[in-house]
């Protein structure tokens, strides 16, 4: 965590250890070099203070301290990341060209669609559902593969919010691969290289706690995930 700039608003990221959308915001904060506090909540037993400030009952939230001592609350990871891009110093995480920015926002939305498929993939309890969700992931990743250039990141040498959006997606597979082979990326050499580049990025590594893998495996066990049966 970096030292706050003088006069910069105090920022608190309200989190959950497994939420990929929280990771997006945490990565953006780290890439910008912004000081922030992190406050985790139990989404299975949401505290009253959290329910009072989260319109959707979800994380992440970014609590922004104002100069007059009051606070503003931002919700939705895309909104939080855009706010950080517009207000914080540090490297730009969006292209300068308006058309390129719009394209990046579109790919971020695809990343969100992939996360929706991932939920079904990791919570599937039978072979047919698992195969269907795997096929949906393979199809979407094929589109991503076709859009990638020479890397190492989505748009080349510069890290962007698209990278922040996809890093949590790939982190799932870093854990899944220790359970059983999914072979989702077997026809995606560019994504494989992109995954490797993101995996070693400091901002990506620090976006989760060290027990993330164990927590995710515990989640799979609690949901009687078909993926675990593949390892048997």
CA 25, CA 76: separation in Å to the nearest integer? 9
Q: What is the pLDDT of residue 86?
A: 96
Q: What is the pLDDT of residue 9?
A: 74
Q: Does 18 have pLDDT greater than 80?
A: yes
pLDDT digits (tens, 9 = 90+) for 36-94: 999 999 999 999 999 999 999 999 999 999 999 999 999 999 999 999 999 999 999 99
CATH number at residue 146: 1.20.1050.10
Whether 45 is in a domain gets the answer: yes
Q: Are residues 108 and 195 in the same domain?
A: yes
CA 109 to chain centre: 12
CATH number at residue 28: 3.40.30.10
Closest to 158 in 3D by CA, of 212, 110, 97: 97
Q: What is the pLDDT of residue 7?
A: 52
Number of structural domains in the chain: 2
Query: Domain span at residue 70?
Result: 11-87
Q: The pTM is what? A: 0.94
Q: What is the pLDDT of residue 232?
A: 67
Whether 218 is in a domain gets the answer: yes
Reported confidence tier of residue 5, pLDDT bands at 50, 70, 90: very low
Domain end, chosen from 87, 121, 144, is at 87
Is there a contact between 161 and 88 (Cβ–Cβ < 8 Å)? no
Cα separations (Å) of 147 from 134, 150, 190?
20, 10, 10
Q: Does 1 have pLDDT greater than 50?
A: no
Whats the size of the chain, residue-wise? 232
Whether 3 is in a domain gets the answer: no
The upper half-sphere exposure of residue 114, i.e. CA atoms within 13 Å in the direction of its Cβ, equals: 27
Quick one: average pLDDT of 199-213?
97
Q: Are residues 103 and 74 in the same domain?
A: no
DSSP tag of 25: H
Task: Name the pairing type of β-strands 61-65 and 11-15.
Answer: antiparallel
- Helix (H), strand (E), coil (C) string for 33-95: CCCCEEEECCCCCCCHHHHHHCCCCCCCEEEEECCCCCEEEEECHHHHHHHHHHHCCCCCCCC
pLDDT digits (tens, 9 = 90+) for 95-128: 999 999 999 999 999 999 999 999 999 999 999 9
Q: Does 3 have pLDDT greater than 50?
A: no
Q: Are residues 111 and 224 in the same domain?
A: yes
């Amino acid at each position: 965590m970096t030292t706050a700039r003088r006069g910069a608003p105090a920022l608190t990221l309200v989190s959950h250890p497994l939420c990929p959308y929280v990771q997006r915001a945490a990565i953006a904060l780290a890439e910008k070099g912004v000081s922030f506090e992190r406050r985790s909540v139990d989404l299975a037993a949401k505290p009253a203070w959290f329910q009072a400030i989260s319109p959707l009952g979800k994380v992440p939230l970014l609590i922004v301290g104002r100069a007059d001592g009051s606070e503003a609350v931002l919700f939705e990871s895309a909104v939080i990341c855009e706010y950080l891009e517009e207000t914080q110093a540090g490297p730009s995480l969006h292209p300068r060209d308006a058309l390129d920015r719009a394209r990046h926002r579109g790919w971020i939305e695809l990343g969100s669609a992939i996360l929706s498929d991932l939920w079904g993939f990791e919570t599937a309890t039978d072979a047919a559902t698992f195969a269907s969700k795997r096929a949906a992931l393979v199809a979407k990743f094929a589109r991503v593969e076709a859009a990638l250039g020479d890397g190492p990141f989505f748009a080349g040498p510069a890290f962007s919010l698209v990278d922040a959006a996809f890093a949590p997606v790939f982190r799932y597979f870093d854990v899944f691969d220790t359970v059983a082979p999914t072979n989702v990326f077997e026809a995606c050499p560019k994504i494989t290289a992109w995954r490797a580049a993101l995996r070693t990025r400091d901002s990506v590594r620090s976006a989760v706690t060290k027990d993330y893998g164990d927590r995710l495996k515990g989640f799979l066990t609690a949901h009687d995930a078909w993926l675990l049966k593949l390892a048997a």
